[in-house]
Structure 1
Amino acid sequence: MKRWILGVSALAVSIGAPAAFAEDHEDSVTLYRVFVGDHADAKVTAFDLDTPDNHWSFETTGQNKLFAVNDGAAIVAVQSDSDAVHFIDSGISLHSHGGHSDIDIDDPVAIEGALAGPRPFRIIDHDGKVAINFDKGGYAAIVDAHALSHGTLETSQLKQDRAHHGFAAPVGDFWVTSVATDTPVDGTRIGLRAVEADGTPTGDVATCTGIHGEAFSGAYLAAGCQEGVLTVTPGEDGPVFEMLTYPDDLPEGQTTGTLLGVKSMQAFLGNYGSDGLVVIDPAGEPHFSYIELPFRRVDFALDPADARFGYVLTEDGSLHQVDILGGSLTTSAKVTEPYSMDGHWNDPRPRIAMAGDEIVMSDPKAGVVRRIAKDGLRQVGVIDVGGMPYNIAVAGGSGMVHEGEHDHAHDHGDAQIAKGYFEDSQVAGRALSDWAGDWQSVYPYLQDRTLDPVMAHKAETGSMTAAEYKSYYETGYKTDVERITINGDTVTFYENGQPVAAEYASDGYEILTYPKGNRGVRFIFEKSEGDEAAPEFIQFSDHIIAPAKAYHFHLYWGDDRTALLEELENWPTYYPSSLNADEVVDEMLAH
């Protein structure tokens, strides 16, 4: 199978997520749960956004900075000044099944156990790991996100050379950690270095003077520096570092120190000084697009449901919509009284977070949380939480609710059609939107033995042993393309985290007859424009023969349409990237 040399911009790949399947069903539920840390009191208040009478309170050790991790399944309460970290099961978990999501709802509960250590601060949630930096301890605590979502606290430590205000993050099979010099007090932060899981260095320090702020987007980790923004991507021999130098047309004397990673496309939104923002395209030029703010920034957030937009609150009390692709401010509206940015960085000021079609904003002086509609930035509700609400996090979304035990026996289409027995008249053309979404290859799960239960299950009723089935699927699933995203007409292929993107148009379909007498349909799309390295043709096969949302698919690609139709042994297979390993196994066992 053809391998590609990758390395192109994917900034314009996707500007929004597909509409949730659950919203078209009468037994679906949309629920957002808001968690608020008080500025003065050692507590976290939680309430359901639409029914705030459903509320809970959790005692902690000190003032909390809150983070929703593992898709909101858990809330991490970091108490820097009290040397403590507490964890809360949000009571909401979402399980994606390709065409729809299931939602499990329960009361939020404190997770037994807490972390204690010298000044916990920055936190990174990525690739199933939650890394919490202990600035005065010289290490990062690594929390297993999957265990955390099941109410269990499992941790390890990644040692750093010296204590400093920094971070650690997983990148491919390695970690990267910030590095500081042995100077008094906090040290001088000078860059990033790749390390093994035990902290053993594997390379030189990549310069990033005064490194501060970090985020993930697509294949990229980015960090703010005095020189520019340092990006990190996985490579065959370890993390690959590249400095994106600030261009001459940006205002002088400013830097980026806070970064947010856009979902659904590779881009970052960062501050640039106190009264500017930059949109950063890590793969394509120009790398930086500057947005001037009318007043100093108080807080900003990205919209996970529509990657094109973010929102920024400025000190005059106005909320602004940020057009990521356009690099500009659009709608603006006054939402609270002014909050000056003079004074200490931790003075009580509003914080914002996204909750579906709304922005929720803490308003410390008023003692309330404000609900602001994205449409027109109108206030649509006020929730009195008392005290001085400060840091804020949101969990939730939309999904199907199943009574009793969750049933994975989804309807994947007519059983006879799925087995390959149908009439030509039943076949109809399909649009690329049937496969829209973010997809992961299942080949790594076969290699690491995650799929062993699936092979054993097949052997119980099939004609081969589990080992023989595994060998068969080793050939079938094999691929170097670990991830594929499809949005509109654009398909992006990722190999070792590096993207290749192109636009594709329908080239009809072909009905194939297999040696056993059953049949299948290949839905074919031809490249209309895009990267030279992208294949000329892609062909989908997913046991569905007419327009319908795919739950998984097999994909064939290359430059010869006819030759691809003859390929019957290698069929790289993709399931939604939102599924974890256990959920992929469940889906395969149910299929």
Structure 2
Amino acid sequence: MTRHTRRLTAAAVIAGVSLLATACATTSGSGAAPDTASEEPAAPAEGRVAVAYENGIAVLDGTSLEVVDTFETEEFTRLNPFGDGRTIAVTTSKGFQILDTGAPELTDLVFEAAAAGHVVVHEGKTVLYDDATSETTILDTDVFAGGYDSLPEGETHRSEAAHHGVSIVLEDGTLLTTVGDETARSGAVALHAHDDHWDELASSDECPGIHGEGTAAGEAVIFGCEDGALLFHDGAFEKFTAPDEYGRMGNAYVSETSPIVVGDYKSDPDAEGYLLNAVTLIDTAAHTYEVVELPDEVQYTYRDVVRGPEDLAYILSTDGQIHVLDPETGEIVDAFPVVEAWEGPAEWQDPHPTIKVNGDIAYVTEPASNAVHAVDLTTGETVATVELDAAPNEIAVALG
């Protein structure tokens, strides 16, 4: 394993970027599981799991993986936890359609969006982003606590130019939103609501191709760039520069109890396919950025990395194993087989093995066998499996 380390202490860059605003509020991050080391396999986490396949969605019992119900839908949909432990926002051509995994029911409630994009959950807020308009919709995460009788209204904020972006609201109300247009994306801006307008707190134009986000311990927010990463913390932006001229991070895998962000990494802009063989490790407390090249057998896509027990990173590789990465050292410390070996997808939307985590349990899809597995990450044992009638594509746990 090769490690490229670069310690950076860049000051925040303030640039003049104005946004047309109409309202706001939200944030992001995925929590890590508690530290457990039981000798016995843990039962799969309670709750429901949604699985998308061609023209349909199945709702599974989180413990047995038995199919509770199925629903017809569009050919390709994406699944996003709403954050309340029950609701899933289903990305469709009409917008974000609400799936109640409790009933279960694919409701008629749709937050309209011409190009439904990222869904971010953090600190009691759920944020929806429309790429076609760069409109952010901010909702209370518990907005469906009283039922699914009507579509709730949220606050909205619209950026000056439409782009594939994302918005986050921190605990103090600061809105972070990406900046770009139909031709390029350049950075992010931090805003604070004031009466009927937004005051700009800070901005950065040092993040070409800005994509994705993640919130680490202490509300340290990371965005991926085509030449490194962009951190927002304590009211200021800080740029981390990749060791390669092209060093793209597009997805951040985080724990709100760890300051270290694990990101995907691509250094060849002309590389074919979607498989990756390196990760970034960004310590938001120490302000360090490094790239770790993984062993040759460890190849993954953006769907194949999660954080789990002990804040470790779990990488579902093409060799069919989950490889356990210690973010503190950058070393692979364990591996265990879960699925048969697989090849990378021809297109990013194509079904290929995917991993999601809830507590000590990872839910893993295996499209080649139409299967979904529940894996105890503390032991490496597969504790439940179900075979569906179609190849599973996306998967989401109704996290609370």
Q: Percent identity?
A: 23
State the alpha-carbon separation in 2 of the partners of residues 201 and 15 from structure 1. 33
State the alpha-carbon separation in 2 of the partners of residues 16 and 319 from structure 1. 17
Which one of 359, 362, 371 corresponds to residue 359 of structure 1? 362
Provide the residue aligned with 2:256 in structure 1: 263
Query: Is contact 2:51-2:59 (8 Å) kept?
Result: yes
**1:121 matched to 2:117:** yes
State the alpha-carbon separation in 2 of the partners of residues 329 and 276 from structure 1. 12
State the alpha-carbon separation in 1 of the partners of residues 381 and 223 from structure 2. 34
Provide the residue aligned with 1:108 in structure 2: 104
Amino acid corresponding to residue 221 of structure 1 in structure 2 = V
Which one of 382, 386, 390 corresponds to residue 383 of structure 1? 386
State the alpha-carbon separation in 2 of the partners of residues 252 and 33 from structure 1. 43
Provide the residue aligned with 1:161 in structure 2: 160
The Cα shift of 1:396 comes to: 6.1
Structure 1, unpaired ranges of 5+: 1-13, 20-27, 92-106, 398-591
Instruction: Summarize the Cα distance change of 1:289–1:283 in structure 2 as closer, same or farther, 3 Å threshold.
Output: farther
Which one of 229, 239, 244 corresponds to residue 240 of structure 2? 244
Instruction: Summarize the Cα distance change of 1:29–1:261 in structure 2 as closer, same or farther, 3 Å threshold.
Output: closer
The Cα shift of 1:110 comes to: 4.0
Which one of 129, 132, 135 corresponds to residue 136 of structure 1? 132
**1:87 matched to 2:98:** yes
Query: Is contact 1:369-1:382 (8 Å) kept?
Result: yes
The Cα shift of 1:46 comes to: 0.9
Instruction: Summarize the Cα distance change of 1:275–1:220 in structure 2 as closer, same or farther, 3 Å threshold.
Output: same
SS in 1 for 2:144: helix
How many residues get paired?
345
State the alpha-carbon separation in 2 of the partners of residues 387 and 54 from structure 1. 13
Which one of 147, 150, 155 corresponds to residue 143 of structure 2? 147
State the Cα deviation string for residues 188-216 of structure 1 (Å, max 9, x = none).
10000123457746256402111011111
Instruction: Summarize the Cα distance change of 1:241–1:369 in structure 2 as closer, same or farther, 3 Å threshold.
Output: same
State the alpha-carbon separation in 1 of the partners of residues 327 and 128 from structure 2. 29
SS in 1 for 2:368: coil
State the alpha-carbon separation in 2 of the partners of residues 161 and 151 from structure 1. 35
Provide the residue aligned with 2:323 in structure 1: 320
Provide the residue aligned with 1:63 in structure 2: 76
SS in 2 for 1:242: strand
The Cα shift of 1:50 comes to: 2.8
Query: Is contact 2:322-2:335 (8 Å) kept?
Result: yes
Query: Is contact 2:119-2:127 (8 Å) kept?
Result: yes
Mapping 1:101-500, distance limit 5 Å: 107-111=103-107, 113-151=109-147, 153-171=152-170, 172-181=172-181, 186-196=182-192, 200=198, 202-203=200-201, 205-207=203-205, 208-218=207-217, 219-234=219-234, 239-246=235-242, 248=243, 253-273=246-266, 274-288=276-290, 290-294=292-296, 295-298=298-301, 299-304=303-308, 306-341=309-344, 343-395=346-398
TM-score calculated relative to the size of structure 2: 0.77
The Cα shift of 1:52 comes to: 3.7
Query: Is contact 1:60-1:86 (8 Å) kept?
Result: no
Query: Is contact 2:262-2:279 (8 Å) kept?
Result: yes
Instruction: Summarize the Cα distance change of 1:332–1:18 in structure 2 as closer, same or farther, 3 Å threshold.
Output: closer
Query: Is contact 1:224-1:257 (8 Å) kept?
Result: yes
Q: Could you say what the CA RMSD is over the residues aligned between the two structures, in angstroms? A: 2.8
Query: Is contact 2:260-2:284 (8 Å) kept?
Result: yes
Amino acid corresponding to residue 125 of structure 1 in structure 2 = V
State the Cα deviation string for residues 192-242 of structure 1 (Å, max 9, x = none).
0123457746256402111011111222111011332111125xxxx4211
Query: Is contact 1:289-1:327 (8 Å) kept?
Result: no
State the Cα deviation string for residues 537-581 of structure 1 (Å, max 9, x = none).
xxxxxxxxxxxxxxxxxxxxxxxxxxxxxxxxxxxxxxxxxxxxx
SS in 1 for 2:46: strand
SS in 2 for 1:365: helix
Query: Is contact 1:189-1:210 (8 Å) kept?
Result: yes
Flag the structure with higher helix content: 1
State the alpha-carbon separation in 2 of the partners of residues 127 and 255 from structure 1. 28
State the Cα deviation string for residues 332-383 of structure 1 (Å, max 9, x = none).
2343233322521111111111143332111122111022232453333320
Structure 2, unpaired ranges of 5+: 1-30, 37-42, 267-275
Amino acid corresponding to residue 46 of structure 1 in structure 2 = V
The Cα shift of 1:288 comes to: 2.9
The Cα shift of 1:146 comes to: 1.9
State the alpha-carbon separation in 2 of the partners of residues 199 and 256 from structure 1. 33
Mapping 1:538-549, distance limit 5 Å: none
SS in 2 for 1:146: coil
The Cα shift of 1:35 comes to: 1.1
Mapping 1:36-55, distance limit 5 Å: 36-38=51-53, 40-41=54-55, 43-53=56-66, 55=68
Amino acid corresponding to residue 322 of structure 1 in structure 2 = L
TM-score calculated relative to the size of structure 1: 0.54
Instruction: Summarize the Cα distance change of 1:54–1:138 in structure 2 as closer, same or farther, 3 Å threshold.
Output: closer
Instruction: Summarize the Cα distance change of 1:396–1:164 in structure 2 as closer, same or farther, 3 Å threshold.
Output: closer
SS in 1 for 2:364: strand
State the alpha-carbon separation in 2 of the partners of residues 137 and 15 from structure 1. 33
Provide the residue aligned with 1:512 in structure 2: none
State the alpha-carbon separation in 2 of the partners of residues 48 and 174 from structure 1. 37
Provide the residue aligned with 2:273 in structure 1: none
The higher relative CO (CA closer than 8 Å, separation ≥ 6) is in 2
State the alpha-carbon separation in 1 of the partners of residues 373 and 66 from structure 2. 15
Mapping 1:500-511, distance limit 5 Å: none
The Cα shift of 1:314 comes to: 1.9
State the alpha-carbon separation in 2 of the partners of residues 55 and 72 from structure 1. 16
Amino acid corresponding to residue 17 of structure 1 in structure 2 = P
The Cα shift of 1:16 comes to: 6.4
Instruction: Summarize the Cα distance change of 1:314–1:52 in structure 2 as closer, same or farther, 3 Å threshold.
Output: closer
State the alpha-carbon separation in 2 of the partners of residues 262 and 117 from structure 1. 29
Query: Is contact 2:230-2:238 (8 Å) kept?
Result: yes
Instruction: Summarize the Cα distance change of 1:154–1:145 in structure 2 as closer, same or farther, 3 Å threshold.
Output: farther
